[in-house]
């Protein structure tokens, strides 16, 4: 039965196929200028809260307006993809953020978005659009919140009542009009668990994170030596950090993903601190093959481990 040429039928078609492809949820909002986010982003950048992430300074206008990314963009389709693992690392070791346990999410989710675009073009006709997975100037949390998928918590991650916050956010920006969802209410209340738990005080006030103070920034983005004043504050995190999410009450409702490509290498789960301290380049390449951890490279991980272990900086 052919698809009716209506906003309602197109919207239902997109959402049904998003769920079929394994996305947790799908919300849609009207493409346009993010008026509320503009002054926030400008202030965040002017206060140098992005540290050495200079790419955040680029494409300021495009970050706030998807119609500058896609000609004649009408709709932003936001999607969530679960990455909460069934098994986690042993508790007495150096830690890796849960999103990086398996294969790099960019590839896994991008393939699904491409498939969704092909399906839409086959069924609806010629659609101009692009898929985005944390790799372009798109304010993904803002669009997901605008699309009703959750609310932005005090740690600036998106939170949903049913599944917490351990998921990736992706977007399709396309040039067809659809039915648009509305934002949900904020349910953080008076809770300050994330703010209180952050060992580097990166959450400088509710809903504002100083990226240049975040453990994830130091262990992934920072290419120089980690500042000495951060000694003893990393709680054994060697790649990324999940502290603000781990303490969030809403993550009691997180459920394990069912994506085989996110299944971690058993060595990652079982390695002791000594194993990590003695890791070789060959083992690094085996354990983290096609992993997001490749972003920090072998030298970067060794630098982070040396910092945690109070050793001299790793020499190439």
Please pick, among 111, 134, 175, 236, the residue that the annotation labels catalytic. Answer: 134
Q: Measured on CA atoms in the order 204, 207, 213, 215, is the torsion positive or negative?
A: positive
> Is 154 in contact with 192 (CB distance < 8 Å)?
yes
Question: CA torsion, points 243, 244, 245, 246, in degrees to nearest 10?
Answer: 40
The two tokens of residue 218 are 């130091």
193-204 exposure pattern, b = at least 16 Cβ within 10 A, e = fewer = bbbebbebebbe
Q: Helix 7-20 crosses helix 105-124 at what angle (to 10 degrees)? A: 140
**DSSP assignment letter at 220:** I
Q: Which of 271, 208, 210 is nearest to 239 (CA)?
A: 271
The phi and psi torsions of 203 (rounded to 5 degrees) equal -85, 90
User: Cα–Cα distance between 17 and 75 in angstroms, integer?
Assistant: 17
Two structure tokens written together for 196:
């209180």
Q: Is 134 a catalytic residue?
A: yes
Run of H or E including 37: helix 37-46
Helix H, strand E, coil C: the string for 144-207 is HHHCCCCEECCCCCEEECCCECCEEEEEEEECCCCCCCCCCCCCCCCCCHHHHHCCCCCEEECC
CA torsion sign, 224 to 228 to 230 to 235? positive
Which are the catalytic amino acids? 134
């Amino acid at each position: 039965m052919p698809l009716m040429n209506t906003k309602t039928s197109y919207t239902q078609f997109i959402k049904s196929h998003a769920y079929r492809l394994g996305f947790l949820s799908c919300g849609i909002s009207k493409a346009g200028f993010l008026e509320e986010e503009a002054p926030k982003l400008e202030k965040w950048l002017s206060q140098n809260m992005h540290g050495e992430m200079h790419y955040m300074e680029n494409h300021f206008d495009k970050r706030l307006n998807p119609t500058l990314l896609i000609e004649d963009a009408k709709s932003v389709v936001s999607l969530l993809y679960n990455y909460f693992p069934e098994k986690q690392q042993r508790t007495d070791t150096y830690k890796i953020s849960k999103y990086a346990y398996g294969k790099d999410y960019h590839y896994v989710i991008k393939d699904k978005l491409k498939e969704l675009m092909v399906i839409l073009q086959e069924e609806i006709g010629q659609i101009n659009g692009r898929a985005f997975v944390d790799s372009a100037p798109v304010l993904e949390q803002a669009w997901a919140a605008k699309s009703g998928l959750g609310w932005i918590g005090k740690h600036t991650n998106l939170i949903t009542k049913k599944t917490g916050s351990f998921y990736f956010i992706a977007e399709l920006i396309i040039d067809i009009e659809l039915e648009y969802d509305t934002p949900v209410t904020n349910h953080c209340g008076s809770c300050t668990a994330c703010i209180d738990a952050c060992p580097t005080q990166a959450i400088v006030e509710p809903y504002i994170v100083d990226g240049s103070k975040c453990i994830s920034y130091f262990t992934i983005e920072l290419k120089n030596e980690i500042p000495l004043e951060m000694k003893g504050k990393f709680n054994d995190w060697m790649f990324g950090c999940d502290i603000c999410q781990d303490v969030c009450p809403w993550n009691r409702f997180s459920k394990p993903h069912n994506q085989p490509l996110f299944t971690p290498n058993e060595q990652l789960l079982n390695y002791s601190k000594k194993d990590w301290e003695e890791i070789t380049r060959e083992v690094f390449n085996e354990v983290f093959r096609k992993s997001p951890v490749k972003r920090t490279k072998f030298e970067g991980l060794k630098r982070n481990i040396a910092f945690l272990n109070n050793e001299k900086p790793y020499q190439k």
